[in-house]
Structure 1
Amino acid sequence: MARVLLFGRLADQAGWRDRVIAASDLSGLRDALAAADPDLAEALAAPGVQVAVDKAIVRGEAALTAGTEVAFLPPMSGG
């Protein structure tokens, strides 16, 4: 079970910010999210969205264990 956190517009779109989801890796987590909400899955796959596993940015695949925290971060803007 991974604790999934959504921030910014991703949380607004999903209607939740924090949820526990059963998955053994990031691709399984994305599949579970897609099955529950295809629009959210599309938003999570958009360019610029970053994934942090236990507070470290991850590119590609990562294994998830009990208590793993996965955060999806929308693209940042600023000036």
Structure 2
Amino acid sequence: MKIEVRKPSPQETAAMQQCPVWEKEPSEFPWHYNERETFLVLEGEVTIEAGDQTVKIGPGDLVTCPKGLDCVWKVHKRIRKHYTFG
């Protein structure tokens, strides 16, 4: 199970801007994905650790976390993101 990080197309950015926003202050917490999540980072810095994969994400990144993923979120700078599940 791999986390995918890339830059979105203009169409993907427009679509994500219609999704809800989630915010989180600097913290560290475990997370399990019951379903796939796709999110667009608006601001902040986060490291997601999942098994042998460590992913650093920041503003402008489009991220997809697969269903069933167990990971640890490390929020270094307050994050704001548009997100959608499924």
TM class by shorter-chain length? 0.3 to 0.5
User: When the two structures are superposed, what TM-score results if normalisation uses the length of structure 1?
Assistant: 0.33
User: When the two structures are superposed, what TM-score results if normalisation uses the length of structure 2?
Assistant: 0.31
Decide which structure has greater strand share.
2
Decide which structure has greater helix share.
1
